[in-house]
Amino acid sequence: MAREALVPAKNMKRKEKTIRGIPQEWRDLANVGDVFRMLRYCLLQVDKGRMTIRKANCMGFLGGKMIDAAEKVEFERRLAELEGRQGNHDGGVIQISVSK
């Protein structure tokens, strides 16, 4: 990462560290809400002419993949919890109904 990417943006009104203008409070993308805010930020930057459409598309694609991965992690956690409740540690079959 370039050294200038770690320098706080001069036009930020609040005293918060940024990386390439992205606020530190959600730049780590720790949850789906952070990804949502990142995507919103990208859209606003494209609208203002501060980000290329190509970069925003890339960020959107990767953000979508992160959300997909988060959903899979949550599904696996819930499945393991259900299996633990049922006592199916021997690889037995567990029935799960999924509804929309």
> For the residues of the chain, what is the DSSP string, one character each?
--GGGGSPPTT-SS---EETTEEHHHHT--SHHHHHHHHHHHHHHHHTTSS-HHHHHHHHHHHHHHHHHHHHHHHHHHHHHHHHHHT-TTS---------
CB neighbourhood size of 82 (10 A): 13
Query: Using one digit for the tens of pLDDT, what is the confidence trace for 40-67?
Result: 999 999 999 999 999 999 999 999 999 9
Domain layout of the chain by residue ranges: 3-86
Q: Give the predicted TM-score (pTM) of the model.
A: 0.57
